[in-house]
Structures are given as structure tokens and as C-alpha cells.
Amino acid sequence: MKEQAREELDLQQFNIRTDLALEARELAKPDGGPIPGIHSEVTEDDGITITVLHVQNEQGSQAIGKIVGQYVTIEVPELRNGDTTLQDRVATQFAKHFESFLERLQINKMAKVLIVGLGNWNVTPDALGPIVVENVMVTRHFFELMPDQVAPGYRPVSAVAPGVLGITGIESSEIVRGIAEQSKPDLIIAIDALASKALERVNTTIQIADTGIHPGSGIGNKRKGLTKEILGVPVIAIGVPTVVYASTIVNNAFEMMKNHLEEQKGDTNQIFGLMNSIPENERLQLVKEVLGPVGHDLLVTPKEVDQFVEDIANIIASGLNAALHEAVDTDNVAAYTH
């Protein structure tokens, strides 16, 4: 309930659609200055930028419109190039950070895990979750059917893609709830495609959060959430932005042009006139008014979405296999995924 209110606040306040905490922080404080209740640390490693962002309290939550919790964002601008060595490095980093979530949440080595791939397999940019589910190692049935024969170093993992409301007629959160009540996992991992405010983050960014999935997030318009409150066990959310609003591209470009010209020439008032002094949310409103009616304000995705989504889904599946099973480590991670 409270979360829903806050999400709406978020949308009212910024009027910019993003599911990334990193971007919500950027919007709240474009100059990058400190925000009370928000702690963040950035590390870089040869093309991989990792931001650990902690929303520490209600004050921080209000400030950026995101729930209290830990958010790790892995940004890899070159990820779209299809370089398999880089993909392996990202999977390793993902596994490392995912393991730190397991530790903090005190998920022990044999705790049962249910992986939930949200989204619509018939809509390529929304198919991330289902593709991850097709590619992770599923082991729960071995523990159920022949517990004595399972090699050490594995835990019971199950995985489902519940589909979307338009395909099943049932909220995906209801489906997950029903399955969780039957299969009794100790942890749920929910994977979803997200919207970003910046085209360069689309299909190049992975967010991990210990907050679960909240209503209104994700590109499939989930109406109910997947959270510890609803499901009774911790929910780690993994998200990848795969789409961006055309209006956000335009608004973003405007901002970038301003900055670009400021660097070069100084007086942007002269160049941009009144547009320069319009607050960002009013400008975005203007952009939406203009684009909306004529069919311009769509969610868009890069032309190569099929390959991009497949690549990043494989990275996540490899990373999850390594993080969840001691016997699978970050060196042999790729061998367990196809």
C-alpha cells in the first residue's frame, strides 16, 4: 500500500519513466550531490561500472522515490558488441554481487530457491525473464525424487515463467503465490524487463535489488507486486532495461544538447531561449503533449533486440548458476548454460 503510494509520487514528481534506482537518483539530484538517506559507491573495472546504492531510510526513499533497500547496478556500455569474453566477465561480476545479496539475506547454502521469469515470451523486449528460466539449472526435482544421489555443492532450484495477464487471465503475482505455497522456497528470485530513461542503458545494464518487484514496475504493467510481504520469503529482483519511452529519449537529448553547448559556448540562454529555463518536468510534459497524440510516444527498443536480450539472459543465467551452486564456480559458469 505504502509502496504503491510512493511509486505514484515518483511518477508525479518526475514524470519520467525509469525502473532503475540509479536513474531515480540522477533525476533527484542531477548534479550528483549527496542526498540524505542515500549512500552510494561506484567501482569500475575495465568497462564494467558497478554502483552499490543503498536507500537507508524513509528520508532517502522519499527523496528518490524508491523503497528502502540495496540496489546494485552493473553498467557495461560495450555489452551490445557481442564480445563473449566481456560477457563472461560480466557474468562473473554478477555472480559475485549476487552472492553478497545471499549473504546479507542469510540465505544458506541449501536454502531452496524459486526463480521466476516475469514477462511475455511473445514480446521480444519483454521475454528476458522467460529466457533466463529456460537457461538456468533446475535441480529441485532431483532433491525430491532421489535426494541421496544429488552431488554435493548443489541446492534445490526450481524455475517458472508465469506468463502475463493477457495470456493467462491471472495476475502473475497470484500464480507465483500459488506455486510458492505448494513448493515452499526459502528465497524467490524475480527477473523482469525494465524501462530506462536513457537509451544507452538499454540492454547494457543489470540491476539487482533486495526489495522485490513492486507494482507498476517493469514493462509488462504488472499490477501487483512480488514482495516478502506478499510471498512470505525474501524476494531478490533482477532487472534489465530493454525499452525506453520516445519522449524520454527526446527529453534526455535536450538535456544533453544543453550540456554539450554549455561546455562549448557558454550562453545557452541565447541558444535555447526560454526552453533553457523550463524545469525538466515541465519540459517533459511539453514533449509528451506534442508526441503523444500523433503516435510518437511509444516504448521503443533497439533494432537488434532479439540478440541483445538473448545475450543478457545468458549472462544472468550463467551468473545465477554460479552464485546459487557451490559446485559451479565463476570459471566454469558458461559450461552450465547453453
Looking only at residues 120 through 149 of this chain, which bind a second copy when binding is defined by CB under 8 A? 122-126, 134, 138-141
Stretch that binds a second copy, among 34-42, 56-64, 302-310, 319-327 (CB under 8 A): 302-310
How many residues touch a second copy under the rule CB under 8 A: the total is: 80
With CA atoms as reference, report the closest residue to 177 among 239, 120, 134, 235: 235
Is the CB of residue 107 less than 8 Å from the CB of residue 234?
A: yes
Q: Counting contacts by CB under 8 A, is residue 36 touching a second copy?
A: no
Diameter of the chain measured on Cα atoms: 76
**Among 83, 186, 230, 272, interactor with a second copy by CB under 8 A:** 272
Q: Counting contacts by CB under 8 A, is residue 289 touching a second copy?
A: yes
Q: Which of residues 142-181 bind a second copy (CB under 8 A)?
A: 156-163, 165-171, 174-175, 177-181
Nearer to a second copy, 35 or 179 (CB): 179
Q: Counting contacts by CB under 8 A, is residue 237 touching a second copy?
A: no
We find the least distance from the C-beta atom of residue 260 to a second copy, in angstroms, to be 5
We find the least distance from the C-beta atom of residue 290 to a second copy, in angstroms, to be 5
Residue 221 and residue 251: Cα distance in Å, rounded? 23
Residue 273 per-residue DSSP state: G
Q: Which of residues 51-110 bind a second copy (CB under 8 A)?
A: 77, 80
Nearer to a second copy, 200 or 331 (CB): 200
Residues 6+ apart with CB under 8 A from 186: 107, 111, 112, 113, 233
Nearer to a second copy, 75 or 210 (CB): 75
Nearer to a second copy, 12 or 81 (CB): 81
Is the CB of residue 311 less than 8 Å from the CB of residue 84?
A: no
We find the least distance from the C-beta atom of residue 241 to a second copy, in angstroms, to be 12
Which phi and psi angles does 39 have, rounded to 5°? -120, 130
Q: Which of residues 182-211 bind a second copy (CB under 8 A)?
A: 182-183, 198-200, 204
For 162-223, where are the E strands, in sequence order? Answer: 187-196, 205-209
We find the least distance from the C-beta atom of residue 242 to a second copy, in angstroms, to be 8
Number of Cβ within a 10 Å radius of residue 47 = 14
Q: Counting contacts by CB under 8 A, is residue 331 touching a second copy?
A: no
Edge-to-edge strand list for the sheet holding 113-117: 38-45, 48-55, 69-75, 205-209, 235-245, 187-196, 113-117, 157-160
Q: Counting contacts by CB under 8 A, is residue 266 touching a second copy?
A: no
In this structure, the strands spanning 69-75 and 48-55 are antiparallel
We find the least distance from the C-beta atom of residue 54 to a second copy, in angstroms, to be 27
Q: Counting contacts by CB under 8 A, is residue 315 touching a second copy?
A: no
User: Which amino acid is residue 289, in one-letter code?
Assistant: E
Nearer to a second copy, 158 or 217 (CB): 158
Would you state the cell numbers that stand for residue 296, as one nine-digit string? 510518437
Residue 192 per-residue DSSP state: E
**Among 42, 110, 275, 327, interactor with a second copy by CB under 8 A:** 275
